Structure 1
Amino acid sequence: MSPKRFPFTREISLAVLAYLYVPVIVLIAYSFNANRTATVWTHASLDWYGRILINPSIRAAAWNSLVLAICAATAATILALMAALAMRRSFLGRGASETILNAPLILPEIVVAVATLLLFVSVGVQLGLGAMIAAHTAFCIPFAYLPIRARLEGISASYEEAAFDLYANRFRTFRRVTMPLLWPGIMAGFTLAFVTSLDDFLTSFFLAGPGTTTLPVYIFSAIRAGITPEINAISAVMLIVSVLLVSLSFFLGRLRR
């Protein structure tokens, strides 16, 4: 349909983009505010970025977030890879299995977080980093699965058939042929799962134990005392890291060689 039939299409699009991104730009700008009051601008300064680097609570929360994201993304990517390879073949219940696999993308996160909390409490699992890794792995699987599955669909079966004709067994074929071709999709899936785990708040909030506060949970707790440029600086750093990693995931997913 031609945009000429809707004269305000461009204006509406610009208004929606401004609504989405202007607050983000304002947040980043005020993270450089030297004034303690976040809403009163005085002059530009990098002091708040220096303070978040020497704050022990922020460094501990950042370390917890990093360990959690790496462990969850690694486990989710391995499970997603095995699921993608299994889904390549036809079997009874394949459609239902794929629907269950992608269920975390559809279900509200608050429902999943509360259900996971009730499950862990009922079976006696101690809340903390281990419980968060298990929960994050579960909801990160579909984020890692989709890029791997898309990459696998673009690989012709003739490569594996040629390896079999050259007397390679299944393991050697997977290691020398399938894995190198899948590598961009695997890295894209890992990056996407890493960002998803790093930015998660609800599941971490419900399952965090003593000493396992993550950055999103720390930010939520600090906001109760009021928004400061320090909080803006933490948010800006997380935003920039997330954007860079998502862009990297998109780039890796489009690699053809």
Structure 2
Amino acid sequence: MSAAKSRPSWQLIFTIAMYGFMYLPIGILAFYSFNASRYSSRWEGFSLRWYVSLLNDSRILSSLWDSLTVAIVAVAISAVLGTMMAVGLAKYQFRGKGLYRGISYLPLIIPDIAIAVATLVFLVTLSSVFSFVRLSIWTIIAAHIVFCLAYIAVVVSTRLAGLNPDLEEAALDLGATPRQAFIKVLLPELMPAILSGCLLAFVLSMDDLLISSFTAGSGASTLPMEIFSRVRTGVRPDINALSVILILVSGMLAFVSEYFRYRSDQRRSN
């Protein structure tokens, strides 16, 4: 019996294999990002040359700036619209509310390729009517708002469902106007969820390739688009280094998002 207990269970073996399959490639990628060789498959010693070369790569820096511009603007607009949408759906009753809710959350389940093609067709049709509509970085931002809005609205709606409705009603009974009750009572309670939703949407926007590729003009190129154009000719160590940096930044944002969620749950439990 003791021998049977000492054997690793199949659940443990499966768990180790699963995590190894997910994280071993990332470890190998990080290891070869410090490779002095030009070729990822051959180790020639430790070096930081590829991290330094990223700072001197104008195309990478330009595409990074485009990605940051798209993500920041899209998330900022989506944070306002998504919060208003979540509050409106939670507090008000109107005809077609269920249909509107379903349509608003469709970007969460529709494949990216379908959203990309539909957005491109819509923009092309719009450009045939209005001559000033052209594919550019602003069309990428408009397309990103569509799915960022849905993610932020879902996170805020989840927070709203757990709030005590008596808080806002108490503020109204004490003489606050509906606007004051929203700004001073409801909005501070929603802020952790809004920040978490914004961080999630920011990471998704920075990571998007399909929608950006379909809606970008000739003068716009986001970071995923630049990386994809380079890996088609082979993975080089500078791409490994860039991938490691992106993984670290994404992990940090996920940690911050989880921290806000934890603080929000602690406040609710107290």
TM-score normalised according to structure 1 size = 0.94
CA-CA distance at 1:95 after TM superposition: 2.4
Residue 16 of structure 1 aligns with which residue? 18
Give per-residue Cα distances to partners, 1:71-98, cap 9 Å, x unaligned: 1111111111011101113333322222
Which of these two proteins has the greater Rg computed from alpha carbons? 2
Give per-residue Cα distances to partners, 1:64-123, cap 9 Å, x unaligned: 000000011111111110111011133333222222121111111111101111110111
Equivalent of 2:76 in 54, 74, 77: 74
- Matched to 2:46, the amino acid is A
Matched, 1:159 2:162: no
- State the secondary structure of the residue aligned to 1:254: helix
Residue 55 of structure 1 aligns with which residue? 57
1:77-226 equivalences under 5 Å are 77-89=79-91, 90-124=93-127, 125-226=133-234
Bigger mean CA offset, 47-56 vs 242-251: 242-251
Preserved contact between residue 33 and residue 41 of structure 1 (Cα < 8 Å): yes
- Matched to 2:235, the amino acid is I
- State the secondary structure of the residue aligned to 2:263: coil
Structure 2 distance, partners of 1:154, 1:247, is: 22
Give per-residue Cα distances to partners, 1:170-214, cap 9 Å, x unaligned: 111111111111111111111111111011000111111123111
Structure 2 distance, partners of 1:22, 1:99, is: 39
The count of residues paired between Structure 1 and Structure 2 equals 253
- Matched to 2:260, the amino acid is L
- State the secondary structure of the residue aligned to 1:163: helix
Residue 258 of structure 2 aligns with which residue? 250
Residue 248 of structure 2 aligns with which residue? 240
Give the gaps of 5 or more residues in structure 1: none
Structure 2 distance, partners of 1:235, 1:126, is: 31
Give the gaps of 5 or more residues in structure 2: 128-132
Over the aligned positions, Cα root-mean-square deviation in angstroms equals 1.5
Residue 130 of structure 2 aligns with which residue? none
- Matched to 1:47, the amino acid is R
TM-score normalised according to structure 2 size = 0.90
- State the secondary structure of the residue aligned to 1:252: helix
CA-CA distance at 1:247 after TM superposition: 2.0
Structure 2 distance, partners of 1:162, 1:55, is: 57
- State the secondary structure of the residue aligned to 2:21: helix
Runs of 4+ in structure 1 deviating by more than 3 angstroms, as ranges, are none
Structure 1 distance, partners of 2:254, 2:100, is: 27
- Matched to 1:71, the amino acid is V
CA-CA distance at 1:254 after TM superposition: 2.5
Preserved contact between residue 151 and residue 253 of structure 1 (Cα < 8 Å): no
Structure 2 distance, partners of 1:250, 1:207, is: 32
Preserved contact between residue 147 and residue 253 of structure 1 (Cα < 8 Å): no
